């Protein structure tokens, strides 16, 4: 029994990082298969050897394909390589700092030695302005911050750890994650639609069956994969759209059910303003002016009932 008590189950979570690197390779393979099927097999030949309307259609399809591919990969790399947000060392809530300042003032006024520091009290539970403490990081926990057992650290406004990007999704890369979902969905829908004619023609026209077995396999694989990803991403985007509209993370869904009104829900317009959109970049002005991107404090709705 003593051996079982000493086993650290969180070490097994660290093994998921290895799975994440395999996912990176899988993403690269899916992109390569789709690129070959759309550009090399289906629409590239039409652009080079077609006539009239087919050339124009091929040019439009290939331009849209490459534009969405660039945006998708840009967002993906931003999610992978952007730190979701780390808690500063020895972080304390502003209310605790005020209490400590008052305590230090009293100490000085009473001529008590100032080299004796009483550690602040933290509680492991709570949200909003309640003090929290992470026993594993030995540090304070800002509001909406959670400890990731895979990364083995606390992450600001943690949403989840995503094995597809080998990274946590948190305050500073959540926007990039959402844009990655959107552009990937648009890309997979486009790929499915533009491969559908070739897919149908192959089974209807025997003359097209002279294609090599590898080309046929790649066409079939690309079509099925893109269709499957488009359908699954539609559900995933719907879920995250609902979360964004209510300013809730995936982790906070359960917490929100226990409250009468969610204190971070400022209305869908203001909730969206905390992310804002389209390009996977944050200006220095946004990082300075939008507290949610800093991840240490969040505007709350006055009068919210917890």
Q: Is 134 annotated as catalytic?
A: no
Distance between CA atoms of residues 230 and 167, nearest Å: 22
Q: Which of 145, 148, 162, 168 is catalytic?
A: 162
Runs of H (alpha helix) within the chain = 2-6, 10-14, 16-35, 44-49, 53-81, 94-109, 174-204, 213-245, 252-257, 268-273, 284-289, 291-294
Closest alpha carbon to 180 in 237, 253, 232, 241 = 237
| Helices 53-81/16-35 angle, 10° precision | 170
Closest alpha carbon to 143 in 260, 264, 272, 290 = 264
How far the first Cα of the chain sits from its last, in Å, is 41
Distance between CA atoms of residues 133 and 126, nearest Å: 10
Cβ pair 159, 170 in contact under 8 A: yes
Cβ pair 274, 293 in contact under 8 A: yes
Distance between CA atoms of residues 258 and 246, nearest Å: 15
| Residue 214, token pair as written in the block | 């590898």
Beta bridge partners of 160: 169
Residues labelled catalytic: 162
């Amino acid at each position: 029994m003593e051996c079982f008590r000493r086993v650290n189950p969180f070490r097994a979570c660290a093994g998921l990082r290895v799975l994440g690197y395999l996912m990176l390779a899988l993403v690269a393979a899916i992109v390569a298969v789709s690129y070959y099927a759309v550009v090399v097999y289906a629409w590239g030949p039409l652009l080079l050897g077609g006539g009239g309307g087919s050339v124009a259609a091929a040019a439009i399809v290939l331009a849209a394909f490459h534009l969405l591919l660039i945006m998708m990969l840009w967002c993906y790399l931003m999610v992978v390589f952007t730190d979701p947000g780390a808690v500063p060392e020895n972080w304390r809530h502003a209310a605790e700092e005020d209490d400590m300042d008052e305590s230090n003032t009293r100490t000085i006024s009473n001529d008590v030695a100032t080299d004796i520091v009483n550690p602040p009290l933290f509680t492991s539970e709570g949200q909003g302005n309640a003090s929290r403490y992470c026993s594993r990081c030995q540090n304070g926990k800002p509001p909406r911050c959670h400890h990731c057992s895979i990364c083995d650290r606390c992450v600001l406004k943690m949403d989840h750890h995503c094995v597809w990007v080998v990274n946590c999704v948190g305050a500073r890369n959540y926007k990039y994650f959402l844009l990655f979902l959107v552009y990937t969905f648009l890309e997979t829908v486009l790929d499915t639609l533009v491969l559908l004619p070739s897919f149908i023609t192959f089974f209807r026209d025997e003359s097209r069956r002279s294609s090599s077995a590898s080309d046929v396999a790649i066409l079939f694989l690309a079509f099925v994969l893109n269709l499957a990803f488009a359908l699954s991403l539609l559900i995933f985007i719907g879920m995250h759209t609902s979360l964004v509209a209510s300013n809730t993370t995936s982790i906070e869904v359960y917490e929100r059910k226990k409250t009468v009104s969610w204190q971070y829900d400022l209305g869908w317009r203001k909730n969206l303003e905390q992310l804002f959109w389209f390009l996977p970049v944050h200006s220095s002005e946004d990082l300075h002016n939008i507290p949610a991107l800093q991840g240490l404090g969040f505007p709350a709705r006055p009068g919210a009932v917890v």
